[in-house]
Amino acid sequence: MNFGPRTSEQDSFAIMDKALDLGINFFDSANVYGGKRGEGITENIVGRWFAQGGGRRDKVVIATKVYGTMGDWPNESRLSARHIKLACEASLRRLQTDYIDLYQMHHIDRNTPWEEIWQAMEQLVREGKVIYVGSSNFAGWYIAQANSIAAQRHFMGLVSEQSLYNLSARTIELEVIPACQTFGLGLIPWSPLAGGMLGGALQKVQEGRRTEEQIQKRIEANRAKLEQYAGLGLIGTANPAIGAGTVVALQWNCLDLSEGSPTLANIRALESRGAVLTYAVQKSTC
């Protein structure tokens, strides 16, 4: 969503090329991303990147979303059948592709019946414009309702849910994640670093998005917890305060975990004191 308003097109292209080099092939967007209503700036940038060729489109699983306001007229937002159809076709033009791998409903539309929503999505699937359908920001109840009605229509229904999820926002653990598990949905966390707050905010408090007033307030409100989080010291010295019974979830993309590396030494020091570390390593080279 930062492609355009915060990240230049040239830098956006470089980021996506690097992602493919590292084996990252799932790119998520939305028709409203880009900062200017109705223009789909982020989708346009991704589309121009696809247009460079080199197998970019074939290598990428592209996801985008429908719901947000794209104009002043009543059917230029939400999930009416008309808006779903026109919004999908507009996204396809901007992305310069003939199909969307994952088409997500950005929010629940309480005023449109599921029969109308699913009929529109089924038509897009039949036409080959959409492969899978997902949701975003849905409550557990709406996931259950959506997929129960989809099953009655002999339609696959939702295959994924994209929710706010990070170490400071865990509400979805109550009902959304259990619903995903029950109905077989994949979970896509958005803002996994809380808008940068969990990405070394205390050391980089005057850089990037962290300079925004809203983020600054969140940093100050959570300073004590952030100092504890930073105290894990996985890149520096392992924190002796972290001991038995501590459970820490970590995910890295480009860290050196080879024998003799400082990071691996700190992990083993934490584990020797009874800490339970769960982590997923994508690749160790950048």
Instruction: Report the catalytic residues.
Output: 33
**Residues 6 or more apart whose Cβ sits within 8 Å of residue 6:** 209
Tell me the C-alpha to C-alpha distance, in Å, between residue 169 and each of 20, 139, 174, 195, 251.
Answer: 29, 15, 11, 11, 16
* 229 in Cβ contact with 198 (< 8 Å): yes
Cα–Cα distance measured from residue 249 to residue 176, given in angstroms and rounded to the nearest whole number = 19
Give which of 239, 250, 240 is closest to 167, Cα–Cα: 250
* 121 in Cβ contact with 179 (< 8 Å): no
By the 10 Å C-beta count (0-12 exposed, 13-18 middle, 19+ buried), 162 is classed as buried
